Chain A
Amino acid sequence: QISLKESGPTLVRPTQTLTLTCTFSGFSLSTSGVGVNWIRQSPGKALEWLALIYWDDGKRYSPSLRSRLSITKDTSKNQVVLTMTNMDPVDTATYTCAHLYRSGFDHWGQGIMVTVSS
């Protein structure tokens, strides 16, 4: 069965770069039509889509955060890495990765809470 798990720092300082890893099992990111997304949710706020990487290494980013985001994959390790530069307290949120297949976001990780504070 498909599972995803996020890992990374839970506390980052303002202006630092955040690096999060999504480690998954139960599918291959080399299979046609498959993608892995990153989504975040600030406390008490709505979900916000951040980025997506496809099986063919195609990448998509939220227009409002494009300049700060980078998404990469390591197919051999079953991992997807998201980096976000110049972190600010408003970026405090739970960051979650999700599996995409044929335009369905069908499996999600539990998320990792990241706090940005000095």
Chain B
Amino acid sequence: QTVVTQEPSLTVSPGGTVTLTCASSTGAVTSGYYPNWFQQKPGQAPRPLIYTVNNKHSWTPARFSGSLLGGKAALTLSNVQPEDEAEYYCLILNGGTWVFGGGTKLTVL
């Protein structure tokens, strides 16, 4: 069964840049894994940010971007704002089924 691994936690300063990654136990993540990224704040439903590697939803702030980096899916936050403090989840398609990563808790400090 596929395991999707994310950094458990990251810390970034306001105005800084941070990259979160998403790795698959089955090998390199490619566009065919259709990675999605979500932001979740306490008590709220996940908010979709990115789909199919680097496509933004109409509500996704410009400072969020997706990419493939070193065999992983990546989410980069530029000019980080205090309100970006949240849990971030990736989701990939593997073997016809979808798998979430364990999440990255992003602290803005």
Contact = CB atoms under 8 A, between A and B. Distances in A.
A106 B57 contact: yes
Q: DSSP majority for the A interface? A: strand
B14 interface: no
Given A49-B97, A52-B98, A108 B48 contact: yes
A11 interface: no
Interface of B: 1, 34, 36, 38, 40, 45-46, 48, 51-52, 55, 57, 89, 91, 93, 96-103
Contact of B91 (A61, A62, A64, A105): A105
B48 A104 contact: yes
Interface range, A side? 20 to 34
Contacts of B91: 47, 49, 105
Contact of B96 (A46, A60, A64): A60
